[in-house]
Amino acid sequence: MDLYPLYNALRIAAISCVIVFFLGIFFAHWVAKLPRVLKGILDVVLTLPLVLPPTVVGYYLLLAFGPNRAFGAWMMSAFHVRLTMVWYSAVFASVVVAFPLMYRTARGAFESFDPTLRDSAQTLGLSNSYIFWRIQMPYCRQGILAGTVLAFARALGEYGATSMIAGYTPGRTATISTTVYQLWRTNNDALAFKWVLINVAISFVVLMAVNLLEKRERREAR
Amino acid sequence: MSVKVDIEKRLGDFSLNINFEAADVVHGLLGASGCGKSMTLRCIAGVVTPDRGRIEVNGRVLFDSEQHINLTPQQRKVGLLFQNYALFPNMTVEGNLLAALRGQEHSTAQKKVAEMIRRFRLEGLERHRPNQLSGGQQQRLALARILLTEPEILMLDEPLSALDSYLRWQTELELMDLLDRFTGTTLLVTHSREEVRRLCDTVTVLDAGQGSGSMPVQSLFDAPETLSACLLSGCKNYSRAEKLADGRIRVPDWGAELTCSPIPAGLQYAAIRAHHITLADVSGENVIPCRVQRVIEDVFSTILMAQTPGGTPLRVELEQVNFALPQPGETLYLQLSPERLMLLK
């Protein structure tokens, strides 16, 4: 059994997760400070990928990154970098699709942050970046952690946009989800079932880890 | 060592307009909840920006809307004790204290923290988190953390209101010690006249966001100038008042005319404290005949609610009653002696 789809899916999910982690936190932090009208509009725009069908996301990504499109063509001519139908194309898809999950959970977590903690830290002379990373982030870690795990799980399971922008090339762009579909399409039920089990196992382990982390945290807090 | 504040801030329907000065004293900001006391402290600390005005601490301008000066909270060097103490929940007791000394050499910081832990009796709790401490310990930790930053002024936002009554007195005594030792100016926000009386030297009364000037605490209780100050000082009996000739005033709400002097210009109200009203045998000068509505036994006194001819009842507090208590419906002659009457603008 070729384990490339497992390796490829994990690396795509991991890279996407890291990108989405910082992007989501950045936007959650930034949007919260905007005036109300702008906040409302941006909030809708940033959440849109959550409700759009992944194929629509894939379509837009192809519009931007396709080798015959403006950005894709420029990347090709300037850097000889191809943005579609390579393994990292799936990272673009996963990032866009998983981003709203991280953004929304992080925003909810930041909104629950007690603002007097920031105020008191400021009057104690602590810098704003220290307050953010050492007080606000630990305070909001439950929500941040939940958002990160959701984003990772979503990136791991991403299929629609991925199949459009990265396609399915065995040994190159294949991920677990595209492999399962391909195997089922070619009547290779036994192997498809194995991949399904692997996917379930990964998800199980991830969620289990989160629960354990939370439990330990509650014990420490007591 | 002084604080000068003169600021305006609008927030929706609410507008704050306060000015006062205080130097080397414990200065109280007294007002009902929602009157802008905490907002004032937040403006001084710099976590809220006033719309207009000027804030000066020890000659240093922290905020001046005309000169476009607005120091960050970090630059202001003022200590603010928040009502909920605002301890960092993710850090231990020691961590909370070390955070206040960030940027200092570790061994020096360790030494200062150890000293604070001893001074504020937090020994043995170094590794605990704030939510494992009692209310009193939390407050001591918050105060210790503030003092480590060596603030030029100390601001306390309702420091005793979060504590239950058992802890409150003990904490208030500790607070007194702390305030005695602190050499700069302290601003203390409270809604309790008792705390102002016991802890403060001077006071500014805030009424619906409006507060002006400062007065010695003693005069708030002996001779308040305005009705709001009078009510905040705990007085419950007041009536509209009009100046008549010959040192007399008319008090329509009590349905009487009274003699008193001197009568200030702009007289609007007259008031008298419940325990300053005495019982007279017969009608006479400054005596109002009233009908007893209710007799209430309090812990150490007896309270009479007496209906005046003007309609507004008077509350009378009698400390020791060595005669038969009047019964509801009986007529009493209440004496409002001229020197006890407070004439208000």
* List of chain B residues whose C-beta atoms are within 8 Å of the C-beta of residue A219: none
B-chain CB neighbours of A127 within 8 Å are 74
Q: Which of B42, B89, B100 sits opposite A124 (nearest CB)?
A: B100
User: Does B149 contact A125 at a Cβ distance shorter than 8 Å?
Assistant: yes
What span, in angstroms and rounded, lies between the C-alpha atoms of B135 and B123? 16
Q: Which residues of B touch A114 (CB under 8 A)?
A: 84, 86
Residues B29, B206 contacting (CB under 8 angstroms):
yes
Q: Under CATH, to which class is A4-221 assigned? A: mainly alpha
CB contact under 8 A, A130 and B78: no
Q: Do B47 and A122 touch (CB under 8 A)?
A: yes
Could you tell me the CATH number of the domain that includes residue B326?
2.40.50.140
Domain count, chain B: 2
Q: Point out the residue among B79, B84, B88 whose CB comes nearest to the CB of A123.
A: B79
Res B266: pLDDT: 82
**Contacts B84 to A, Cβ<8 Å:** 114, 116
| Interchain proximity A221–B131, CB inside 8 Å | yes
**Residue B42 touches partner A, C-beta closer than 8 Å:** yes
Write down the H helix ranges in B149-212: 165-181, 193-199
B153 CA: distance to closest CA in chain A (Å): 12
Pair B161, B71 in one domain: yes
Instruction: Say if the Cβ atoms of B74 and A130 lie within 8 Å.
Output: no
Specify whether B157 is located in the same domain as B272: no
pLDDT band at A221 (very low <50, low <70, confident <90, very high): low
| Same domain as B262, residue B280 | yes
Instruction: Check B82 against A119: CB less than 8 A apart.
Output: yes
State whether A114 and B74 contact (CB < 8 Å). Answer: no
Burial of B239 (0-12, 13-18, 19+ CB in 10 A): buried
Q: Does A117 contact B86 at a Cβ distance shorter than 8 Å? A: yes
Give residue limits of the domains in chain A: 4-221
Q: What are the strands, taking DSSP E only, across B31-183? A: 52-57, 60-64, 69-70, 78-81, 153-157
Q: What amino acid occupies position A34?
A: L
ipTM reported for the complex, 2 dp: 0.80
- If asked whether residues B63 and B167 sit together in one domain, one would say yes
CB contacts < 8 A, A to B, total 61
Contacts of B176 (CB under 8 A, 6+ apart): B198, B199
Residue B158: name the closest of B11, B50, B41 by CA. Answer: B41
Maximal CA-CA distance, chain A: 67
Are B158 and B257 part of one and the same domain?
no
- A129: its two tokens: 């970046």
Express as a percent the part of chain A with pLDDT over 90: 65
Q: Are B312 and B338 in contact (CB under 8 A)?
A: no
Q: Answer yes or no: are the C-beta atoms of A132 and A84 closer than 8 Å.
A: no
Closest Cα of chain B to A4: distance in Å? 41
**Domain boundary, last residue among B193, B210, B232:** B232
Task: Find which of B74, B113, B152, B154 to mutate to test the A interface (most A CBs within 10 Å of its CB).
Answer: B74
Looking at the structure, do residues B317 and B186 belong to the same domain, yes or no? no
- pLDDT (0 to 100) of residue A142: 82
Same domain? For B249 and B215 the reply is: no
Residues B44 and B99 in one domain: yes
* B12 interfaces chain A, CB cutoff of 8 Å: no
Domain range spanning residue B264? 237-344
> Has residue A127 got a pLDDT over 80?
yes
Please report the pLDDT score of residue B326 as a whole number. 80
Q: Does residue B166 sit in the same domain as residue B303?
A: no
- As a whole number, mean pLDDT of residues A103-126 equals 92
Indicate yes or no: CB of A127 within 8 angstroms of CB of B74.
yes
Contacts of B42 in chain A (CB under 8 A): 119
CA distance A118 to chain B (A): 9
Contacts of A139 in chain B (CB under 8 A): 89-90
B308 class by beta-carbon count within 10 Å (0-12 exposed, 13-18 middle, 19+ buried): buried
**C-alpha dihedral (B83, B86, B87, B91), degrees to nearest 10:** 170
What is the rounded average pLDDT for all residues in chain A? 90
CB B145 within 8 A of CB B97: yes
Q: Which of B81, B88, B146 to mutate to test the interface with A (most CBs of A within 10 A)?
A: B88
Q: Do residues B274 and B207 both lie within one domain?
A: no
Nearest chain B CA: its distance from A34 CA (Å): 17
- DSSP for chain A reads ---HHHHHHHHHHHHHHHHHHHHHHHHHHHHHTS-HHHHHHHHHHHHHHHHS-HHHHHHHHHHHHSTTSHHHHHHHHHH----SSSTTHHHHHHHHHHHHHHHHHHHHHHHTS-HHHHHHHHHTT--HHHIIIIIIHHHTHHHHHHHHHHHHHHHHH--HHHHHHT---TTTT--HHHHHHHHHHTT-HHHHHHHHHHHHHHHHHHHHHHHHHHHHHHHHH-
From residue B325, how far is each of A140, A161, B301, B303 by CA, in Å?
63, 89, 12, 10
- Of all residues in chain A, the one with the smallest CA distance to B86 is A117
Give the mean model confidence (pLDDT) for residues A4-32: 94
Are residues B228 and B261 located together in one domain of the fold? no
Q: Kindly report which listed range (A58-62, A198-202, B47-51, B226-230) carries the lowest average pLDDT score.
A: B226-230
Q: Which of B199, B216, B232 is the last residue of a domain?
A: B232
B residues 290-329 closer than 8 Å to A (CB): none
CA angle B19/B22/B24 to nearest 5° reads 165
CB contact under 8 A, A117 and B88: yes
Confidence band of A219 (pLDDT split at 50, 70, 90) = low
The per-residue pLDDT string of chain B (345 residues; one tens digit each, 9 = 90 and over) reads: 789 999 999 988 899 999 999 988 999 999 888 888 999 999 999 999 999 999 999 999 999 999 999 999 999 999 999 999 999 999 999 999 999 999 899 999 999 999 999 999 999 999 999 999 988 899 999 999 999 999 999 999 999 887 888 888 888 998 899 898 898 899 999 988 889 999 999 999 888 888 878 889 888 888 888 888 888 888 889 998 888 887 888 888 998 888 887 888 888 899 999 888 888 887 778 888 888 998 888 888 889 899 898 889 999 998 877 777 788 888 888 888 888 888 888
Q: How far is B220 from chain A (nearest CA, A)?
A: 32
What CATH code is carried by the domain that includes residue B202?
Answer: 3.40.50.300
Question: With an 8 Å Cβ cutoff, are A121 and B99 in contact?
Answer: yes
Per-residue model confidence (pLDDT) at position A25:
95
Pairwise CB contact (< 8 Å): B90 & A138: yes
- The string over A29-52, giving b where at least 16 C-beta atoms fall within 10 Å of a residue's C-beta and e elsewhere, is eebeeeeeeeeeeebeebbebeeb
Instruction: State whether B86 and A138 contact (CB < 8 Å).
Output: no
Residues of B in contact with A137 (CB under 8 A): none
Select from B188, B213, B232 the last residue of a domain: B232
Residue A222 pLDDT more than 60? no
Residue B272 to residues A22, B132, B335, B342, Cα–Cα distance (Å): 65, 48, 11, 6
- Quick one: closest CA in B to A116, which residue? B86
Identify whether residues B227 and B241 lie together within a single domain: no
| Cβ-Cβ contacts under 8 Å, A222 against chain B | 132
